[in-house]
Every structure is written in structure tokens, then in C-alpha cells.
């Protein structure tokens, strides 16, 4: 499995042609206490960069963008009752959706862990 990161602070863990998507610890920390997550519909197709979900915190609402194009194959229904999972476990239990990746070459425009760490260091 390989994990990639977007400049919009989404991560995607890739195994074969399947990806699991969530937001980074940096993003959840910036948002504060998350109170609601609006997830995409299973079976919907999205292009890379499309708004695919919404997360609301006590501070603000923020869009979640699709790091790669493809079809949504699953959503984390636990977030509907427990949106705080995004705060407590952003890179594991707080995942948002799974996607069947349409074009694996789109992963090339994303960052690896070292690149993302360098990216967020430049934001602070």
C-alpha cells in the first residue's frame, strides 16, 4: 500500500486500483472539532479535483476534493453518527470514502509523505 497526499490536505491510501480517502491530521487540526460530515453516494463518478464531500466543524465548513477520478465504492457510515472520528483518527478510522481509481497516472501529481511534510512546513 502506498499513501499519497494532495495540496488540499486529502490523503489516499492505494492498494491496486482501489483507494481509501480521508483528510490529514494537519487539516483536521486546522478545522477544529468536527461536528458533521456529508459523504458522497456510492456508485457516483467523480473527476480529480471535484468536490466530493463536506466536513463541518465548530469553526467552518470545508469541501473535500477528490484526489483522483473514479467511482465511489464505499463510504464510512460511522462518520454519520460520530464525525469526531475525523479528529481522533484522521488517518485510520476517520476515512471518508473508497474509490475505484479510473486513471492511476493521476497519482503522479500527488505528494508522498516526505513531500507533504515539506509542503505543510512551508505553510506554517
Domains, the chain, with CATH or none: 2-104 (2.40.50.100)
62 CA to centre of own chain: 12
- Please list the pLDDT of the chain residue by residue as tens digits (124 residues): 899 999 999 999 999 999 999 999 999 999 999 999 999 999 999 999 999 999 999 988 999 999 999 999 999 999 999 999 999 999 999 999 999 999 999 999 999 999 999 999 999 7
| pTM recorded for the entire structure | 0.96
What distance in Å separates the CA atoms of residue 21 and residue 3, rounded to the nearest whole number?
10
Closest C-alpha to 55, from 69, 42, 39, 41: 39
Amino acid at each position: 500500500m502506498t499513501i499519497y497526499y494532495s495540496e488540499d490536505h486529502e490523503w489516499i491510501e492505494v492498494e491496486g486500483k482501489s483507494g481509501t480517502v480521508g483528510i490529514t491530521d494537519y487539516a483536521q487540526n486546522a478545522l477544529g472539532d468536527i461536528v458533521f460530515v456529508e459523504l458522497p453516494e456510492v456508485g457516483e463518478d467523480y473527476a480529480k479535483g471535484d468536490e466530493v464531500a463536506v466536513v463541518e466543524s465548530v469553526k467552518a465548513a470545508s469541501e473535500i476534493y477528490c484526489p483522483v477520478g473514479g467511482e465511489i465504492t464505499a463510504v464510512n457510515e460511522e462518520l454519520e453518527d460520530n464525525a469526531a472520528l475525523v479528529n481522533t483518527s484522521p488517518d485510520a478510522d476517520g476515512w471518508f470514502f473508497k474509490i475505484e481509481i479510473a486513471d492511476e497516472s493521476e497519482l503522479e501529481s500527488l505528494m508522498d509523505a516526505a513531500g507533504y511534510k515539506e509542503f505543510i512546513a512551508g505553510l506554517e
